Amino acid sequence: MLSVRRLDAGYGESVVLRGVSLDVEPGQVVCLMGRNGVGKTTLIRAVMGLLRPKGGSVAFKGEDVTRRSPGQRARRGIGYVPQGREIFPQLTVRENLRIGLEACADRKSRAAKDVPAAAVEKFPALQAMYGRRGGDLSGGQQQQLAFARALAAGPELLLLDEPTEGIQPSIVEDIRDVIRSIRAEGKTAILLVEQSLEFVRSVGDRFYIMEKGAVVWTGGKEELDDPAVTRYLTV
């Protein structure tokens, strides 16, 4: 589904990612971990096309998309829930969800007048908030809205950047349940950036750990308790 090979990326003259390679198989939940500042968000942004790489490649469903724009990647089936949510505060919940339809490859779907069921079936509480402005929601509600907006176009790959950061425990559980249900359906692969070891154990299939802009460890759930692994995650 996703193949990243020897990716170098950064900002200006600063190099953040150094030869990163990573794979996500169809229907799989792959978790990307590491301390703050090691390059996780930079990698997600490069996969989405928001950051042009200095070297290496990104392939989606066997197609090289390294030079494709974020919009082109979205319409090919990549959804993105950024760190900080980035919902439109002056637009209503309904309007925010409808913006998610812009990622649909089909023009008729983009022109649909109704909020797609896929956008809210995972977060039914949003239906009672359609008329509220996004900026008036709590942080947890905004996270649910950002997640639902990304699901509106039915992506085949979903990029989640710290979806539980600063969220109340009840909504963290909701997000956990949604990720598990997506995984069980097997239609959408997920690349998840997350700090909580307990959370990733509960949802992930494969795990990558980054340090200083490079992947330093990859493995399965049964290997996460290895002291060599926790050493990379200890603050």
Rg of the chain in Å (alpha carbons)? 17
Check: CB of residue 46 under 8 Å from CB of residue 58. Answer: yes
What is the helix (H) or strand (E) element at residue 189, kind and residue range?
strand 189-193
* Residues contacting 208, CB < 8 A, separation 6+: 22, 30, 31, 32, 33, 215, 217, 218
Q: Which two tokens stand for residue 61?
A: 């469903």
Q: Residue 127's pLDDT is what?
A: 87
pLDDT level of residue 223 (50, 70, 90 thresholds): confident
> What pLDDT shows up at residue 113?
63
User: How many Å apart are CA 65 and CA 61, to the nearest integer?
Assistant: 10
Highest mean pLDDT among 11-15, 76-80, 114-118, 119-123 belongs to 76-80
Q: Which residues pair with 27 in a beta bridge?
A: none
φ, ψ of residue 5 to 5 degrees: the values are: -130, 120
Mean pLDDT of the chain: 89
CATH number at residue 36: 3.40.50.300
- Which structure tokens are listed for 20? 């990163």
Mention every residue, 6+ apart, whose C-beta is less than 8 A from residue 177.
none
Give 84's DSSP letter.
T
230 and 54 Cβ atoms separated by less than 8 Å: no
Q: How many domains does the chain have?
A: 1
The more confidently predicted of residues 100 and 235 is 100
CA angle 188, 27, 113 (to 5 degrees): 10
At residue 111, does pLDDT exceed 80? no
- Mean pLDDT, residues 119-133 taken together: 88
Q: What is the pLDDT of residue 119?
A: 76
In this predicted structure, the answer to whether residue 235 has a pLDDT above a threshold of 70 is no
The parent domain of residue 145 ranges over 2-233
Candidate from 129-138, 181-190, 221-230 with smallest mean pLDDT: 221-230
The predicted model scores a pTM of: 0.91
Summarize pLDDT for 10-57 with one digit per residue, the tens: 898 888 999 999 999 999 999 999 988 899 999 999 999 999 999 999
Mean pLDDT of 75-103: 88
